[in-house]
Amino acid sequence: MVYNLIFKVMMMKIKPALYIISLLLLGFSCQKDDKFLSDAVPSYLSASEPITNADLQSLTYGNFFAFTGFSQQGSPFDGIISYPILASGECDQISIAANTSYRNMDHWFTRKNEDVDLATKDFWTHIYYVTNQASLVISKLGQFTDKVEIEPILEGQNRFLRALTNYAGVLCFGAPYGSDNSSRAIILYDEKSLSTGPKDLRSRNTVEEVYTAIINDLKIAIEKLPLTWDSAADPTMAKYKILPYKAAAQMLLARVYFNMGKEHWNDALPLINTVLGYSQYGLEADPRNAYDLPKGVIPGKETIWCYSNEWWSYHDSPFIWNLLYEPNASVFTMHPGFGRAYPISQQMLNYMGWNDQAEASKDLRYTRNFIRFEAGNDPLIAYQTLNKAYVWPLKYEVSFRASLSMMRLAEMYLDKAIILFNSGDKTGAASALKVIRDRAGLPEISATAITEEDIHKERAKEMIFEGDWLRYLQCQRKDIPGTTTLKWNDSSLVLPVPLEERTYNPNI
């Protein structure tokens, strides 16, 4: 009875209360929508744009990493390095090992296969990732209050990177300078023209505009970049030369002027002399060390700027390296699709004189950096059916973690030699060439005996497989040898804009 009474009282009081509590609970869970859902972005993700100079510094490092390639197959080096090498007839198309998986490298020769598109798309894509990010950093400089002392160096680094990337882009997707400078090449992103998202579809800038932008960036970079590594101010990694010093910007600008054609060689020469005048740089005594040091971490004095696998530590050497520079069988090269694919072409061998083994063996570069397998003697089973002897490069074969020299002082001597020769200074030309020949263990060519062809051949032997030959011939308006000989400005030497870009971007 008592219970019933209490219960009745409770029910009278509680029922409305319950009703209200239930509604409150329901209502509570309907509290302001956005708060619950927007709370969720974890703090480790900087889902907003950068807000400090420290962020900009990290973005700069990240962008250098992006430039050097996120993955082996997707590396821009595939495009930057392999295209000029393969297109100019520097190497022979054996590629038995390479054409069974990953990527059919035949496309570099034929440029008809749709695989060309697949590969150029990676390269094309990377150009814009890097130039846009570099531009983002430059656009934000001066806005933040932390670490203001690093702002100039950040600007120099980003302008160098942007120029380097645009230059790689214009070399491949643009007509050679002096051919048709009003033709379209690549899209320029700069600090005033950042990408605004997926709908921001642009048209290409002209060859002239791109070169102007590159030269402008490099001039500022030269001004802003330090001469040497400052342990107090710079991060440890900078000493590995993955981040550029003043000399790197100067050498790149010299290279740009040089490749623009003889009309611009006078602009290049002072820069070349400046770089050659720096005491911290010099040729290695052993040509082998010009590429990778025994430890392969800290590059030698010949390197002006490099790609450091060790520093990135994330991945092994770019894919092209596996194809070009791994002559010895290893666990991985036993596998079809990995390992060397391209020896020096017969045509280049004849031009360089290295088909004559007696002649070749006098050259330290040949003995130290190349290997020859006679027909049937190749350790790779896949190549045992070849019916000729081939010479394979092993410039970087020692270590997966080698620092890969992308700018080497030797190039400056060779530039200087041809520029001086062209201006009639044969003594100067012979003197510049002597430095290179001395290191190769070859006798000097006297000022009286030196010919233009001597300088060309020396360059071929020194720079082969470094992506130099095509642009060297083009800047002198020389025909391009290969399966068929092409004019220096033949349209087939310009890579087409990738199909996907053409499909998706009506403004291209």
Partner 1 sequence: MKKKRWNFRCGRIPCAKQLCRIMKLTSFLLFVLFFQVSAGVFSQNNGRLSLKAEKESVNNILKLIEEQTEFRFMYNANNINVERKIDINCESKSITEVLNILFKGTNVKYRSFNSNYVLYTDAENAVEQTQQQKSVSGKVTDSSGAPLPGVSVVVKGTTSGVITDADGKFTLAKVPENATLQFSFVGMKTQEVKVTEKNNINVALQEENVGIEEVVAIGYGTSIKKNVTGNQSTIKSEELKSIPTSSLDAALQGKGAGIDITSANGGMINGLVKVRIRGNGSINSGTQPLWVVDGIPIMSDEGGSRAQINVNDEALTPSINFLSDLNFDDVESVNILKDAAATAIYGSRGANGVILVTTKSGKQGKGKIDFDYKRTFSNRINQIKLMGAKDWIKTNQTAWTNDGRTGDFPLPVQKLFADTLANGTAAYTRDMMNNTDVNWMNKMLRTGITDEYSLSMSNATDKSSYFVSGNYSNISGIMIGQEVKKYSIRVNLDFKPIDWLKVGTKSSYACSDANEVSTLSGSGIRGISWPLGAISNPGYLNAFNLPVYPEEYADGSPFEPGGLNAPYQINDKKLYDNTYKTYHLVGMAFLEFQLLPGLTFRTEAGLDNYRQPYNVYGGNQSKGGATTYWLKTNYVREGGDETQKTNFNAVLNYNKIFKENHNISITLGTERTSTQYKTMYWQNWNVTTENHLNGSASIDYDNKGTATYKSDLFDEKFEGFFGRLNYSFKEKYLFGFSIRRDGSNKFGPDNRFGVFPSLSAGWIISDEHFFKNEVINLLKLRGSYGQTGNSNIQMYKYQNVYSPWGYYNDEQWLMLLSLGNKGIQWEKSNVVDLGLEFGLFNNRISGSVSYYNKLTSNMLLNSSPAPSIPAGVNPSSRSLITNAGGIKNTGFELTLSTVNIVTKDFKWTTDFNFSTNTNKVTSLDKSYAGTPFSISGDERIAIMEGHPIGEYVLTQFAGYTGKGDDQIYQVNQDLRTNSNQYQLESTGNKILATASNLANNRFFTGKSGIPKFFGGIGNSFTYKGISLDLFVSFRGGNYILLDGISRTVAGEASMNKDLINNTWTSSNANAKYPRLSYNGLSAEKDADGNAIKRAEAEDRYLVKGDFARLKNVRLGYSIPKSLLDKAKIKSLMIYTDIQNLLTISHLRYFDPEISNSLRVSSIGNGYGAGSLNYAPSLVSGTPFPNVSTVQFGIKLGL
Number of residues that bind partner 1 (CB under 8 A): 106
Which one among 102, 121, 239, 487 touches partner 1, defined by CB under 8 A?
121
Interface with partner 1 in residues 419-458 (CB under 8 A): none
Interface with partner 1 in residues 139-158 (CB under 8 A): none
Neighbours of 112 (CB within 10 A): 10
Which one among 102, 129, 229, 488 touches partner 1, defined by CB under 8 A?
129
Q: What angle do CA 205, 210, 211 make, to 5 degrees?
A: 150
Smaller CB separation from partner 1, 124 or 366: 124
Q: What residue type is 484 in one-letter code?
A: T
HEC secondary structure over 316-363: CCCHHHHHHCCCCCCCCCCCECECCCCCECHHHHHHHCCCCHHHHCCC
Q: What residue type is 290 in one-letter code?
A: A
Interface with partner 1 in residues 313-332 (CB under 8 A): 313-314, 329-332
Work out whether 82 is an interface residue with partner 1 (CB under 8 A).
no
Q: Least distance in Å: CB of 45 to partner 1?
A: 6
Interface with partner 1 in residues 282-301 (CB under 8 A): none
Provide φ and ψ at 306, rounded to 5°: -145, 170
Please list the residues that pair with 206 across neighbouring strands.
184
* Alpha carbons 496 and 40: distance in angstroms, whole number: 44
Q: Where does residue 22 rank: exposed (0-12), middle (13-18), buried (19+ CB within 10 A)?
A: exposed
Dihedral of alpha carbons 74, 77, 81, 84, sign: positive
Q: Maximum Cα–Cα distance for the chain, whole Å? A: 130
At a CB cut-off of 8 Å and minimum separation 6, what does 472 contact?
Answer: 259, 456, 459, 463
The stretch near partner 1 (CB under 8 A) out of 128-136, 245-253, 427-435, 442-450 is 128-136
Interface with partner 1 in residues 174-233 (CB under 8 A): 187, 189, 195, 197-198, 200-202
Smaller CB separation from partner 1, 48 or 182: 48
Smaller CB separation from partner 1, 11 or 449: 11
Q: Least distance in Å: CB of 191 to partner 1?
A: 14
Q: Least distance in Å: CB of 391 to partner 1?
A: 16
Q: What residue type is 388 in one-letter code?
A: K
For residues 439 and 287, the answer to whether their CB atoms sit within 8 Å is yes
The stretch near partner 1 (CB under 8 A) out of 3-11, 452-460, 467-475, 486-494 is 3-11
Interface with partner 1 in residues 353-392 (CB under 8 A): 379, 381-382, 384-388
Work out whether 51 is an interface residue with partner 1 (CB under 8 A).
no
Which one among 77, 109, 116, 122 touches partner 1, defined by CB under 8 A?
122
Distance of CA 414 to the CA centre of its chain: 22
Smaller CB separation from partner 1, 45 or 232: 45
The stretch near partner 1 (CB under 8 A) out of 63-71, 149-157, 422-430, 451-459 is 63-71
For residues 429 and 417, the answer to whether their CB atoms sit within 8 Å is yes
